[in-house]
Amino acid sequence: MKCDKKSMLLYAVTDRTWLGEQTLAMQVEEALRGGVTFIQLREKKLNYDLFLEEANKMKALCEKYQVPFVINDNVDIAKACDADGVHIGQSDRKVSDVRTILGENKIIGVSAQTVEQAITAQQEGADYLGVGAVFSTSTKLDADSVSFKTLKSICEAVNIPVIAIGGINENNILELSGTGIDGVAVISALFANSNIKAAAENLCTLSKNMVKS
């Protein structure tokens, strides 16, 4: 499954922080029921076997809802579970190397903070860009901030889909109107919410309005 601009509208990045008595799969399915259009499985502490087990569950869910599914950073897990692709940062493997491992039909997303990084990623074959952090975020404390001006310049410089990430929630998402992005990536705005499905529905509507503006 390749990505298109429509699938970028509401991009959910998983986080175990707010699981409580639920499983990650339960939370992700609530998000999918609420209209999330893309799922990224982000795991920083699971060992390989547990990560792969979780990835297989997520893949099955995303297939059920016909939503693209990628793994954060871990190319080996992405290949092992036959995910739709992988999202990599600036310090990870080169896009060309990842493409060789995963194949031409897989999705490769790349994090970018500057116009130069964005253009390079596109030239190397990235399918979409994640740009941020556009607001302060508690889920990635080392994230560099990206101004709205830079975000807009990145959107103007590339012709692949661009999503904004970092501290985005229902109260500030509309501030991104007019930047040219195709959607937003959210973490706590979804998974820290007591009603994930309702949060997804609301964010999906807001994202649609933001993209149109």
Q: Cβ distance 56 to 71 under 8 Å?
A: no
High-pLDDT (> 90) share of the chain, %: 91
- Considering the candidates 140, 145, 152, 208, report the single residue annotated as catalytic: 140
Quick: pLDDT tens for 80-130: 999 999 999 998 889 999 999 999 999 999 999 999 999 999 999 999 999
What is the residue-wise DSSP string for 130-183? EEE-SS--SS-TTPPP--HHHHHHHHHH-SS-EEEESS--TTTGGGGTTS--SE
**Given 59, 99, 106, 111, the catalytic residue:** 111
177 part of the active site: no
The domain of 79 spans: 5-212
Task: Give the pLDDT confidence of 21-42 residue by residue, as tens digits.
Answer: 999 999 999 999 999 999 999 9
3-state helix, strand, coil in the chain (%, to 5): 45, 15, 40
Whether the per-residue pLDDT at 142 is higher than 90: the answer is no
Instruction: Indicate which CATH number applies to the domain containing 109.
Output: 3.20.20.70
Q: Inform me whether the pLDDT recorded for 140 exceeds 90.
A: no
User: Active-site residue 42, yes or no?
Assistant: yes
Residue 59 known to be catalytic: no
Q: Residue 143 — very low, low, confident or very high, per pLDDT cuts 50/70/90?
A: low
Confidence at 137, pLDDT banded by 50, 70, 90: confident
Q: What per-residue confidence (pLDDT) applies to 136?
A: 83
41-94, pLDDT tens digit by residue? Answer: 999 999 999 999 999 999 999 999 999 999 999 999 999 999 999 999 998 889
Structural domains in the chain (count): 1
Q: What is the average pLDDT across 137-143?
A: 64
Which one of the listed residues 42, 59, 99, 197 is annotated catalytic? Answer: 42
Q: List the beta strands (DSSP E) in the chain.
A: 10-13, 38-41, 69-72, 85-88, 107-112, 128-132, 162-165, 183-186
